[in-house]
Structure 1
Amino acid sequence: MAYYVYILASQENGTLYIGMTNDLVRRIHEHRESLVDGFTKRHGVKSLVYFETHDRAAEAIQREKSMKRWRRDWKINQIERDNPHWEDLYDGLFG
């Protein structure tokens, strides 16, 4: 089973959210459709701008916690290294 750490954004250089899941498609769909109350729904954070895969849940949980402690500019650098135009990666998950 794969585990994912992901970053969502409201827009380029906008509000960021970091999360972890074992079903990336389902979880991002929940964020995009505002199916779960919370931070992403309140702040309109729906665009998947970064994700990484881990083999073990413990690794993904540790990485998520670590990334949440990062300074904002580190998070932006992480996104822009792989996704310089802040494209929404969600549709690419299906192909």
Structure 2
Amino acid sequence: MGGFVYILTNKPRGTLYIGVTNDIVRRVWEHREGLADGFTRRYGLKRLVFFERHETMLLAIQREKVLKHWVRQWKIDLIVSSNPAWRDLWDELQR
């Protein structure tokens, strides 16, 4: 089973959160419903602006750790490279 790395925000160029999961639909739904305690709920981070699938959870976790150490501008550049309008990708997960 693979894994996903994802980035949530509250608005374009707003606060960023990077997470990892093996079930992105469930996990993003938890964030959107306020069921995930902590940082995302405290800052209202519900907009999925980036995600990528990895073949294994180990690879996803490694990628998450790398991204978390990037400077903010690199993270913004990553998002803009695939989602320049910062649109919420939640609907795309539902298809």
Q: Normalised by the size of structure 2, how large is the TM-score? A: 0.98
Match of 2:72 in 1: 72
Please report how far the alpha carbon of residue 2 of structure 1 lies from its aligned counterpart in structure 2 after TM superposition: 2.3
- Secondary structure of 1:52's counterpart equals strand
Please report how far the alpha carbon of residue 25 of structure 1 lies from its aligned counterpart in structure 2 after TM superposition: 0.3
- Does 2:27 match 1:36? no
Match of 2:6 in 1: 6
Residues 8-27 of structure 1 aligned to structure 2 (within 5 Å): 8-27=8-27
- Secondary structure of 2:53's counterpart equals strand
- Secondary structure of 1:34's counterpart equals coil
- Does 2:89 match 1:82? no
Please report how far the alpha carbon of residue 19 of structure 1 lies from its aligned counterpart in structure 2 after TM superposition: 0.2
Match of 1:47 in 2: 47
Q: Normalised by the size of structure 1, how large is the TM-score? A: 0.98
- Percent of aligned positions that are identical: 57
RMSD (CA atoms): 0.6
Distance in 2, matches of 1:30 and 1:92, equals 16
Q: Which runs of 5+ in 2 are unaligned?
A: none
Moved over 4 A (4+): none
Q: Which runs of 5+ in 1 are unaligned?
A: none
Number of paired residues? 95
- Secondary structure of 1:5's counterpart equals strand
The one-letter code matched in structure 2 to 1:18 is: I
Please report how far the alpha carbon of residue 37 of structure 1 lies from its aligned counterpart in structure 2 after TM superposition: 1.1
Distance in 1, matches of 2:77 and 2:37, equals 28
